[in-house]
Each structure stands twice: as structure tokens, then as C-alpha cells.
Amino acid sequence: DTEVTQTPKHLVMGMTNKKSLKCEQHMGHRAMYWYKQKAKKPPELMFVYSYEKLSINESVPSRFSPECPNSSLLNLHLHALQPEDSALYLCASSQGGFWGNQPQHFGDGTRLSIL
């Protein structure tokens, strides 16, 4: 069982739909992350939240909109996605060590398919 919970596990949506991915952790971690992972590739960092503030945006298209309502929750709002956005979306959290020596804990991801 993972300590980072992602919902839904699978999502199929059309290019005009609006949907949201959700991520929750109760480990008291103050940094949370969104990654995109294509098949047979390593995860690609999208966003980092630190103490509920957006810290890093890796030049992600505006059709992806992150939100951190509180220290335990992270959302990713999706709108007008393209077929190439089909991927596994992973959420992670960490204690956010100053020099990056804290490991990240990953959820099992949401498998997103864009029709």
C-alpha cells in the first residue's frame, strides 16, 4: 500500500472535457509534486509545491492547472487536452529537505487517455 493516494486510477476524456486529478498524503510532508510519465520513459517533472505555494513550473502548457488547497492535497485540473497528453500522471511528496536529500514518496498514478 502506498502512502500517497491518487484518484482516479484511470481516466478517459475527450479533448473538450474538463476533469481533475487528485492526490492526498497524510505523512506531514510539505512538498508535493506532479510528474508525467510516458510508456518506457522516466517520469518528467511538471510542478512542485512547497508549503502550499507553487515553487516550480517546468514550462507546462496552461491546459494543465495545478492547485494545492492545503498541505495534504494536490489537484491537477485538466482542460482541452491533446492526444499526446495521454500518459501516467504521478503524484509524489517529500519532507522537502533543503539540499534535496529527502526521498520522494510516489502514488500509483492516474492512467489518462485522451480520445
The total number of residues shown for the chain amounts to: 115
The rounded radius of gyration (Å) of the Cα atoms in the chain is 13
Q: Measured from the CB of residue 23, what is the shortest distance to another protein in angstroms?
A: 11
Per-residue HEC secondary structure of 16-32 comes to: CCEEEEEEEECCCCCEE
**Binding to another protein in span 16-45, by CB under 8 A:** 30-31, 33, 40-43, 45
- Binder of another protein out of 24, 25, 36, 48 (CB under 8 A): 48
Cα(52)–Cα(37) distance, integer angstroms: 23
Q: Measured from the CB of residue 68, what is the shortest distance to another protein in angstroms?
A: 11
Judged by beta carbon, residue 16 or residue 28, the one nearer another protein is: 28
**Segments of the chain assigned E as strands:** 4-7, 10-13, 18-25, 31-37, 44-50, 53-57, 64-70, 73-79, 87-94, 105-106, 110-114
- Binder of another protein out of 12, 15, 56, 115 (CB under 8 A): 56
Stretch that binds another protein, among 12-20, 63-71, 77-85, 107-115 (CB under 8 A): 107-115
Binding-site ranges for another protein (CB under 8 A): 2, 4, 6, 30-31, 33, 40-43, 45, 48-51, 55-56, 58, 90, 92, 94, 96-101, 103-109, 111
